[in-house]
A and B are shown apart, each in its own frame.
Chain A
Amino acid sequence: MSDLELWITLLGMTLIAFALRYLPLAMLERFSLPSSLQQALRYVPAATLAGLVFPALLTPDGQWAIGLHNERLLAGIIAALVAWRFKNILLTLGVGMGALWLLQWMGV
């Protein structure tokens, strides 16, 4: 990607991110989103974020790897339990990275 292309990419991203945040805030005084769209939007965070997490844990090398030999899957499950139980960002990152390093060191 050339310098010019990169800056065009950045400016487009800026406009997209801003428009999504601004339009409902500025316009909803006059009209509101249809209820079917509101319902669909409620599932965007869970569906999108899972799409970012699952591949990193289930296919660390581009291939399905389900089992005890997959250190990233095990460390991810441990981190998910910590995130769910303690709702603490730093603790989750610390335990997740610590678990990965320990499993890699043990050579599971």
Chain B
Amino acid sequence: MAVNPLPPSSQAAFWRGVLVSLPIAVGIVPFALVTGIAGVKAGLNAVEVTAMSVLVFAGAAQLVALQLIGAGASIFFVWLATLVVNLRYLMYSSALARPLEALSSRMKLLAAFLMVDQNFALAVSQYSSLGPRITPWFYLGIGLVLWLVWVVCTYLGALLGARLPEAWSLDFVVPLCFLVLLVPAVQNRPSLFAALVGGLVSTALIGMPYRSGLFIGAVAGIWAGVWLENRQGRRP
């Protein structure tokens, strides 16, 4: 996405972020609706699932947690799933440390709370042209819009959820949402190998209680990616 000319002030940068985020926000609408529907299916009411979106603001983790809650998993397993599915934020947060350096410690709390795949990707890719003073506000503008859309559409999904017929197979939107995130995450042979091993091990272990196969699959996939990268690296 081209962002030019250079916004002159932090306020202008914030609104530039808001503008850039609008088409992306349209894309997360179905994801949020499905999260609201999944919440109702898992036995939560509209307020509870909306509170989850307000506080956690992490789509993949919320959907997995709702599946687990619906299956009667213990609190510990729901937390473990949240940890595993959100591990990628450690990587995002490390990469954002420099672009967001100029923020005060209080604003860094807000910046961390609003961190998602989309504003991470845009802030890191635009940092070289926007610079250290402007990038944080651009990032915050995107994050705030996405959070608002996420919360409102989760609530709408929860209201709508009870009325949608089973025959529409709307639960299939959930793996499709993950697929949309998975495809750009596969960038080279090691990450393709990580996806194949992670996906197949998780599938083979699908019968294990509380989706624990997901954790084992993730570890196996990460190991596979690292192994192939190191093997390629050793070749002259």
Contact = CB atoms under 8 A, between A and B. Distances in A.
A97 B219 CA distance: 31
A30 to B, nearest CB: 10
B185 A45 contact: yes
Given A46-B192, A47-B221, A50-B195, A96 B82 contact: no
B30 A18 contact: no
A46 B217 contact: no
A20 interface: yes
Contacts of A10: 48, 51-52, 55-56
Interface stretch (B89-97, B125-133, B145-153): B89-97
A101 B168 CA distance: 8
Interface in A58-90: 58-59, 62, 64, 72, 75-76, 79-80, 83-84, 87-90
B176 A21 contact: no
A17 interface: yes
A50 B194 CA distance: 9
B96 A25 contact: yes
Interface residues on B, range: 35 or more
Contacts of A25: 93-94, 96-97, 100, 108, 111-112, 115
B203 A58 contact: yes
Contacts of B221: 43, 46-48, 50-51
Q: Is the interface of B mostly helix, strand, loop or mixed?
A: helix
Interface in B179-194: 179-186, 190-192, 194
Contact of A26 (B30, B105, B195): B105
Interface string B192-235: 10111111111100110000011001111110111001000000
B44 interface: yes
B173 interface: yes
A5 B15 CA distance: 40
Contacts of A108: none
Contact of A13 (B65, B191, B192): B65
23 contacts: A8-B75, A13-B56, A13-B82, A16-B79, A23-B93, A41-B88, A44-B222, A45-B181, A45-B185, A47-B219, A48-B87, A49-B178, A49-B181, A50-B221, A51-B221, A54-B200, A62-B207, A80-B179, A83-B180, A84-B183, A92-B180, A93-B173, A101-B168
